[in-house]
Structure 1
Amino acid sequence: MPANPPSKVLLLWLLSAMAAPLPAGQAQAQLPAQVLSAPSSQTSRALESDARTAALPLPAATTPLTLEEVLAASRFHAPQVLEALARVRGAESRVLTAEGAFDTLFNAALDTRPTGFYDGAQAGVRVMQPLATNGGNAYAGYDLSRGTFPSYGANDYTARYGRITAGTLFSLLRDRDIDDRRFNRAIATSDVVLADNDRLMVAIGVQARAIAAWNSWVIAGQRAGVFKDLLQLALDRQGGFKRQVTEGLRPAILLTENEQNILRRQTLVVQAEQALEQAAVGLSLFWRDADGNPQLPGADRLPSRLPQPLPIAEDVIAALENRPDLRLVDVRIAQARTRLLLDRNSFLPRLDLRAEVNQYVGDAGVGGRPYTGTESKLGLTLSVPLQQRVARGRLGQTRADLDGIQQRRRLIEDQIRAEIMGLSIAARQARRLLGIAIDEQDRALAMARAERRRFQEGASDFFLVNIREEAAADAQARRLDAAFRQIVAHADLAAATADVKALGLTSN
């Protein structure tokens, strides 16, 4: 039997076969609602037109949409990924904010006494630089004064051309190793790591869903092809039945039975095409253009064959440390330990060392000889808190938080191990099920071909041929389902092991 008989001959066969009146109840049970009121000839044309349209093969995929294209688009343009990248930029900006605590400070002051017993006036500038490795700071300045000052303002006197000052303050105990400024900087820096690992988690999830969406679209296209081939068999057979009925070799009711098969298989094709269109809509959420707008792939871009599942690492448990959610907990633990250092710092007494050098410039001014030459100062400041309730409370809270985070890490690690082991089992069993489904499909197709030959030779009946053909189509659909389950299982395992290369998250 030819695979594709001429369309005009087939159309004439269908029109003549379906022009025969059907019982009213049977006609209404088989025909679509939109053609129930049409005359017999119009009904035949509508059925033939819909069936032929549904049976048309998919356009040749001249430029198949590859998985690599979809993964590249979702990697750079998915809104979830862009949102996570925005959070990374926000965390980096917070680092800059924390670094602002170490900015160089400039200060200028001018004091005058327009009225009163003293007529002193003073102007000065200061530059202070906080120390990044100590709780103190370094400073330098220049002062110039004129007139007289009260005794409590004797330090305001300078030489004729002013006074140059340089000094520093060192923390010897409290704030020596850590203080609020360095703590905030460390937390802000680790927040960048948190945001970046969160971005990676989002990207892995997006890529895994993109793989599932693309494969779902490809599988839907393959499924539509299976049911179109099944429909085409019924359409091709209708012409032969018409000729045999005319020659008296077959009963006329056979045409009606085959028309029923055409309608039933046409329904399967429409449902498959609907699923294909829905899968294309789902894929458009990941396949985006350069502006981030969803693109709807057409059926002409369907690949001609099923894709291969992603490769699986030989030792999946060894990839445990690649999990970004585990890294997130590790960063939280590091942050808690940094806070623990800050809390312990609060128990230390404050002991600060100050060193300062003043160089008076020029001859003595109003203040006299004491304000000439070079002057140096050294000083120690000690401060001991007698009660530490605030520090003890914070320390206890931080220790409790640290213990809780460590237990959370243990739980997450156990869950990840169980997840990876479960997905490994699912991937292995999916391969076995796919092998069984392929064997079932091959045997079902062989049975359908053999039954068609027997029917052509008169050794079988039409009902059994239809049963064999539809069983073969069901076996093909189950094989596609098994292939999809294997693909998804491999993609889920790649996501669980954070295989960024397999998920298209690397440049290579």
Structure 2
Amino acid sequence: MVLWLILPTVVCCQPLFAQTVEGPVAPIETLGPGVVNVMPQRLGVADVIASVYASYPEIVQARQRRTQASGDWLAAQGAFDTKLNAHTLSEPTGYYENYRHGIGLARQNWWGGYVSAGYRIGRGDFQPWYKERQTDEGGEFKLAFVQPLLQGRAIDANRVAVFQASLQRSAVEPEIQQALLEISREATAAYWDWVAAGAMVQAQQELLELARERGRKFEAGFQAGKFAEIDVLLNKQLIAERTALTIEAQRKFLQTGFKLSLYLRGDGGNPLVPPADWLPDRFPRIQPLDDNDFATDLAAALSRRPEIRLLELQIQGIQWDRRLAYNQQQPQVDFVAEASQDMGFRATSSDDKDQFELVIGLRGELPLQRRKARGKIQSTSSKINQLNEKLRLSRDKIATNLQITYSDLRLSAQLVDQAETALRLALETLQRYRFAYEQGKIDLIYLNLLETKANEAELKLVKTQQAWFENLSRMQTVLGLDPLDQAMLLSELPPSERIGPGHLPEPQVPNDPPAVE
């Protein structure tokens, strides 16, 4: 079993920011226009992907292809519509005065033939060379039938158009799936950017709060004559520097919120900038990647990926063009039959319209060079060969990307473990040197370096966790898994128990702190 099929359930989230920055730095808040007051909640990746499915313009646009493809298919079927035709023609002046009227039905049949039936009446004086226009008093009924015997019998342009339109209908769902995979991956990356940016703001706020708390002690100690003014000034410098870092982190957080609003949409499909109190308290718990059968996973990915299906459908469409071209190399030989019968009193003294008339025969045509058909065969064969190579390359790319994502996911999990270890060691080191500082064995400058080092380790842990979840999203995309299903499973993961912003261990004085020279 693979990771994305065995994710446990239950998730619990708490507010991310346990404290806000005092002074000139304001707490993070949503600055985007049109944001309404809503009940506080935690925004999960499933909420973002669900919004993409429901309202993202490119997805809505892709779904409109269903109606378009159905319309194209219906239009292609129109070649086989039954047609009603009628005419009324009069020659009221001149030596030959006559009147002709007619009505009939005609239809192209599925096997390339043509059937028509109708009634006509012609009265008056007709030119000797147009005597066939004249009918008996009751008019004439006629039935005609044309059927190709070689070219156009097995396949013709009308049927090819229907088949290709049907293939286009089949391609709509893979096109929608392809859009969902690509846009959901972008939306997932934007979501984890937002979560990581919020955690980084928290980390900078914690670092700033250390300097502010120490500053309050320095001010009181300076007033009591226990600290030199230089210590107070140096700490104020640290407060200013760390305040700038916090502001910069907040700026990046707001940017990620604006980017996320492209995918997170409210009523009416309008972009919704998520407020800071929607941030999850922690990243979800990272699950170890099971040992999977690569060949099995690759076969499943190839069967699911829409790019493969779209290329296969495209090849099938061109194959129909090639079949038509091969058929057009054959001679055009049509069987023709026509039957007619006049009704009513005779129109001429010779009564030459009264007998039942039947015409049957063959008619044909063959271009001697047949360059159109031969050129079409050459062209379509080349296109098919090109698409087959493109299909082979697409399969190779999927296999390569699957190997890369598997490797990245396993290694990024190790990086998370190492980043957490580095942070724990940095905090322990800082803790010991903070005790040494209180004993007067190191100065404030060196303590600031150690605090900065611990803060960098904290940010590194945030980035490595973000990278792991982004790698997971890429792997799910390569496998062609449904983004919404995967996002819902991911949202059910319990929160991580790792240390990090908002969840650092309480400082403790070592039992036997070492001497620091």
Render the CA deviation track for 1:390-434: whole Å, top value 9, x for unaligned.
222222222222222212222222122212212221122111111
The residue number in structure 2 matching 1:208 is: 185
The percentage of aligned residue pairs carrying the same residue is 26
Report the counterpart of residue 451 of structure 2 in structure 1.
Answer: 469
TM-score (norm 2): 0.79
Question: Aligned to 2:430, which of 440, 443, 448?
Answer: 448
The alignment covers a number of residue pairs equal to: 456
Q: Return the match for 2:414 from 432, 439, 444.
A: 432
- For structure 1, which runs of at least 5 residues remain unmatched after alignment? 1-6, 8-46
CA shift at 1:136, angstroms? 1.5
State whether structure 2 residue 40 is matched by structure 1 residue 62: yes
Alpha-carbon separation, structure 2, partners of 1:187 and 1:88: 15
Matched, 1:113 2:95: no
Letter in 1 for 2:232: L
Equivalent residue, structure 2, for 1:289: 266
2:107 corresponds to which residue?
A: 129
Return the offset for 1:380. 2.2
Query: Aligned runs of 1:51-450 on 2, under 5 Å?
Result: 53=26, 62-86=40-64, 89-131=67-109, 133-194=110-171, 196-307=173-284, 314=292, 315-318=296-299, 319-366=301-348, 369-372=351-354, 374-450=356-432
Letter in 2 for 1:332: Q
The 8 Å contact of residues 326 and 412 in structure 1, kept in 2 or not, is answered as: yes
Residue 490 of structure 1, CA deviation: 1.3
Matched to 1:432, the amino acid is Q
Q: For each residue in 1:148-192, what CA deviation from the matched residue of structure 2 results, as whole angstroms up to 9, or x when unmatched?
A: 444543433434322332332211211112212222233333334
CA distance in 2, matches of 1:454, 1:361: 123
Q: Are 2:40 and 2:277, in contact at CA under 8 Å, matched by a contact in 1?
A: yes
> 1:317 is matched by which residue type in structure 2?
L
Cα distance in 2 for residues equivalent to 1:418 and 1:228: 42
Given that 1:61 and 1:303 are in contact with CA atoms closer than 8 Å, whether structure 2 keeps it comes out as no
Is 2:289–2:410's contact at 8 Å kept on the other side of the alignment?
no
Letter in 2 for 1:200: Q
Query: Equivalents in 2 of 1:343, 1:471: separation in Å?
Result: 72
Give the Cα separation in 2 of the matches to 1:78 and 1:280.
16
CA separation of 1:407 and 1:311: change in aligned 2, threshold 3 A: farther
Query: Which one-letter code corresponds to 2:81 in the other structure?
Result: D
Q: How big is the shift at 1:128?
A: 0.9
CA distance in structure 2 between the partners assigned to 1:103 and 1:220 by the alignment: 61
CA distance in 2, matches of 1:324, 1:389: 37
Q: Alpha-carbon deviation of 1:491? A: 1.2
Measured in 1, the distance between the counterparts of 2:156 and 2:205 equals 73
Q: Secondary structure at the match of 1:49?
A: coil
**CA shift at 1:275, angstroms?**
0.8
Whole-angstrom distance in 2 between the partners of 1:49 and 1:407: 63
Q: 1:484 to 1:262 in 2, by over 3 A?
A: same
Q: Which amino acid aligns with 2:306?
A: P
Code of the residue aligned with 1:123 in structure 2: it is: H
CA shift for structure 1 position 98: 2.6
Deviation digits for residues 356-409 of structure 1 (CA, Å, limit 9, x no counterpart): 343444444447655347544433223233222222222222222222221222
Deviation at 1:240, TM superposition (A): 2.3
Instruction: Report the equivalent of 1:29.
Output: none
The whole-number CA distance in structure 2 between the counterparts of 1:359 and 1:447 is 110
1:22-52: CA deviations, max 9, x gaps? xxxxxxxxxxxxxxxxxxxxxxxxx97226x
Superposed displacement of residue 247, structure 1: 4.0
Name whichever of 482-491 and 148-157 sits farther off.
148-157
* Post-superposition offset of 1:320: 1.8
CA–CA distance in structure 2, aligned partners of residues 55 and 446 of structure 1:
30
Identify the residue that residue 4 of structure 1 maps to in structure 2.
none
For 2:16, the equivalent position in structure 1 comes to none
Deviation at 1:456, TM superposition (A): 4.4
**Could you say what the CA RMSD is over the residues aligned between the two structures, in angstroms?**
3.1
The equivalences for 1:15-26 within 5 A come to none
Q: With a CA cutoff of 8 Å and minimum separation of 6, indicate the structure with the bigger relative contact order.
A: 2
Counterparts in 2 of 1:124 and 1:48: CA distance versus 1, 3 Å: closer
Residue 463 (structure 2) aligns with: 481
Larger helix fraction of residues: 1
TM-score by length of 1: 0.81
* Of 291-300 and 83-92, the range deviating more from structure 2: 83-92
